[in-house]
């Protein structure tokens, strides 16, 4: 009881608010032409720019979840064994369970088509559903957590600022690449850029 009361007293309500906001953003991200890409069919509408703004703004949804995880886990100092037992093992079990539910849904509960070998092979080498990509990304975060915790604690304030500046510089570089090469002709070598998303395949004019 004491532990529960202490946990409630230390609860960061603003993180709950951010979670709720991110959940609505994820839902909006899957509304198609009814919301997320409404700007594509509203070229002449006076609301075109507002539609476009919201479709771009809500892309912070998954990064918000990632930052919440970092804010809660990075300040802690856990051994590799603790992370493996408390977090990686449990989350891997959740990943397998969720994937199994998705696999059974794909089969329409027709167990005659069920293949345990195919399930684990696909679970290991690919994703059974595109919606589970975030689970794999979060699992990678947990595997690296002991290193990231030590890394975060050793950084100075100036080093944090430097990381943010470098990240913003490479993100803004994609914008300038489009301005000067709207056809998608010239892009910085992927290995140099800190941005994992390269937009040239999406450019239309």
* CA 137 – CA 77 distance, rounded (Å): 21
Query: End-to-end CA distance of the chain, in Å?
Result: 61
pTM to 2 decimals? 0.70
Within 8 A by CB and 6+ apart from 25, the residues are: 58, 60, 61, 64
* CA 148 – CA 77 distance, rounded (Å): 10
Torsion sign over Cα 97, 101, 104, 109: positive
Domain ranges in the chain?
1-73, 76-154, 155-205
Count, residues in the chain: 205
Taking only the tens of pLDDT, the chain with its 205 residues reads 444 444 556 788 999 999 999 999 999 998 988 888 888 888 888 888 898 899 989 989 999 999 999 999 998 888 888 898 889 999 999 889 988 888 888 888 788 888 888 888 888 887 777 777 888 889 999 999 998 888 888 888 898 899 889 888 887 777 777 677 656 566 665 555 544 444 444 334 3
């Amino acid at each position: 009881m004491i532990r529960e009361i202490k946990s409630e007293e230390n609860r960061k309500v603003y993180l709950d608010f951010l979670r709720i906001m991110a959940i609505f953003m994820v839902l909006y991200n899957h509304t198609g032409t009814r919301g997320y890409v409404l700007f594509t069919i509203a070229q002449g509408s006076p609301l075109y720019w507002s539609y476009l703004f919201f479709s771009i703004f809500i892309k912070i949804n998954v990064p918000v979840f990632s930052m919440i995880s970092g804010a809660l886990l990075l300040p802690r100092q856990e051994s590799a064994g603790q992370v493996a037992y408390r977090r990686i093992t449990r989350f891997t079990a959740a990943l397998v369970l969720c994937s199994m539910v998705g696999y059974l849904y794909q089969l329409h509960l027709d167990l005659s088509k069920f293949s345990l070998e195919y399930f684990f092979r696909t679970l290991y080498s690919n994703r059974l559903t595109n919606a589970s990509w975030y689970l794999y990304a979060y699992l990678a975060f947990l595997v690296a957590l002991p290193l990231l915790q030590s890394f975060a604690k050793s950084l100075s304030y100036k080093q944090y600022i430097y990381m943010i500046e470098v990240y913003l510089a490479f993100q803004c570089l994609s914008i300038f690449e489009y301005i000067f090469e709207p056809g998608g002709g010239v892009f910085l070598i992927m290995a140099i850029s800190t941005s994992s998303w390269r937009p040239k395949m999406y450019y239309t004019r």
